[in-house]
Homo-oligomer: A and B are copies of this chain.
Amino acid sequence: MKPANVYDVAAAAGVSTATVSRYFRSPEKLSQATLDLVREAVDRLGYLPSGMARGLAERQTGAVGLYSFSGHEPDELIDADRAADSEGPVRPRLYPLFADEVLRGVELECTLRRLPLVVGWQLGREAGISLDEIARRVDGVVVLPSTISEAQLAQLAKTKAVVLVSQPGGGRDGIDSVVVDNEGGMAALAEHLVHVHGVRALWYAGPENGYEHEARRRGLDSALARAGVPLPGPTVVDAGSRAASREIAARLLAAEEPPRAIVCASDQTALGVMEAVRAAGHRIPEDVIVTGFDGIDAGRLTDPGLTTVRQPMERLGRAAMGLLAERLADPGLGPRNPMLPVELLLRGSCGCGDGRPASISVS
């Protein structure tokens, strides 16, 4: 039997559909007697107003969206069933990752603001959910770094509010953004390595595409240049891929002398690199220092702990959703593009942190 609609309820209560609508939208405009009448009919029929019809009529969905890459590799996800529930010193699957923590912040903000959240994950290039599937259901969407082209984003921004996370909004109309100080964080890390640990020869591992990684590389290079240390060559490594990890190991074995440090563009890459360094027979940090970027939880659980630059991930999510909510409330706002500070986390993998990890605020 198909669910009741306004007409059914109106007929059952002996009122008009407008009155039934008012019962939900502006009960204060109805008399007590009418209220009771409608309530009875609603309860009896188990009536739940359709969000689709309501959205159509109101010309807005009343919901917000989050679109993200999954952070995991497809095959890893498919196998997740097996991996998820085992336990050990090293987790079989990394969690929570950057995207998970940002999501938590977004959810939190949505809960506080009473906004239903529609989430969708991109998985690899083709799998998962498309941004359009999310966007068509919401008034505005927070977009995490994903393989969405600038053009698509600009197109979308014409009809929906868009807030970019970890990608510069570029002052484009209708596109807000929130980023962290990637450049400053990486520069601070580089200075630490050079001045405290005397590092003068290092490798850089990480994908070189994308705004975040470019900013990090820039921070690294400028700090090294200032310190008079030769810049590392480009090392392209796909974060998380086992092949990349093997490649690093092979390069280490092939090298006449291993670098004093390997600076990675992300913690996930760094965890793979740590494995590779050990596979090549070197000790961390005595032979090779390894550093990451992000501050995911897994970096605390390795031995030694991973020295890294921590992004305020949950805050990033909250800020992004906050910007979105504000824009929805006032579309006239100019573009906002805040930058959040990061924090240098010194743990064992750089040779610091005998005892508790130290943390240093940057920017």
CB distance from A206 to the nearest CB of B (A): 23
Residues of B contacting A105 in the complex (Cβ-Cβ under 8 angstroms): 84
Q: Which residue of B lies closest to A56 (CB)?
A: B52
CB distance from A209 to the nearest CB of B (A): 23
Q: Does A260 contact B (CB under 8 A)?
A: no
Q: Report the interface size class on chain A.
A: 35 or more
In whole angstroms, how far apart are the Cα atoms of A65 and B48 in the complex?
A: 15
Residues of B contacting A156 in the complex (Cβ-Cβ under 8 angstroms): 46, 48
Residues of B contacting A137 in the complex (Cβ-Cβ under 8 angstroms): 51-52, 63, 116, 118, 137
CB distance from A86 to the nearest CB of B (A): 9
Chain A residues 154-185 with CB under 8 Å of chain B are: 155-156, 158-160
In whole angstroms, how far apart are the Cα atoms of A357 and B86 in the complex?
A: 12
**A11-19, A214-222, A249-257, A309-317 - interface stretch:** A309-317
Q: Does A108 contact B (CB under 8 A)?
A: yes
Chain A residues 221-278 with CB under 8 Å of chain B are: none
Main SS class of interface, A: mixed
Q: Does A120 contact B (CB under 8 A)?
A: yes
Q: Does A54 contact B (CB under 8 A)?
A: yes
Proximity string of chain A (36-67) to chain B, C-beta cutoff 8 Å, 1 when within and 0 when not: 00000001001011111111100001010000
The residue from B108, B114, B119 contacting A80, defined by CB atoms under 8 A apart = B108
Q: Does A136 contact B (CB under 8 A)?
A: yes
Residues of B contacting A343 in the complex (Cβ-Cβ under 8 angstroms): 85
Q: Does A287 contact B (CB under 8 A)?
A: no
Q: Is the CB of B51 within 8 A of A159?
A: no
Proximity string of chain A (107-118) to chain B, C-beta cutoff 8 Å, 1 when within and 0 when not: 110111011111
Q: Is the CB of A85 within 8 A of B315?
A: yes
Residues of B contacting A87 in the complex (Cβ-Cβ under 8 angstroms): 300, 310, 345, 357, 359
The residue from B54, B110, B359 contacting A136, defined by CB atoms under 8 A apart = B54
Q: Is the CB of B112 within 8 A of A78?
A: yes
Q: Which residue of B lies closest to A70 (CB)?
A: B111
Chain A residues 20-46 with CB under 8 Å of chain B are: 43, 46
Residues of B contacting A136 in the complex (Cβ-Cβ under 8 angstroms): 48-51, 54
In whole angstroms, how far apart are the Cα atoms of A155 and B105 in the complex?
A: 32
Q: Is the CB of B85 within 8 A of A155?
A: no
Q: Does A132 contact B (CB under 8 A)?
A: yes
Q: Is the CB of B100 within 8 A of A104?
A: yes
In whole angstroms, how far apart are the Cα atoms of A121 and B111 in the complex?
A: 6
Q: Does A128 contact B (CB under 8 A)?
A: yes
CB distance from A76 to the nearest CB of B (A): 10
The residue from B123, B155, B310, B314 contacting A111, defined by CB atoms under 8 A apart = B123
Residues of B contacting A332 in the complex (Cβ-Cβ under 8 angstroms): none
Q: A110-B121, A114-B128 are in contact. List 18 more A-B contacts (CB 8 A).
A: A4-B159, A46-B159, A48-B135, A48-B156, A52-B52, A52-B61, A52-B137, A56-B56, A80-B108, A80-B318, A85-B315, A89-B356, A95-B96, A111-B121, A112-B128, A116-B119, A116-B120, A118-B137
A-B CB contact pairs (8 Å), 21 listed: A46-B155, A46-B158, A46-B159, A48-B160, A51-B61, A52-B52, A52-B61, A77-B112, A78-B112, A81-B315, A85-B310, A96-B96, A96-B100, A111-B127, A114-B129, A114-B133, A115-B129, A116-B129, A117-B119, A117-B120, A297-B297
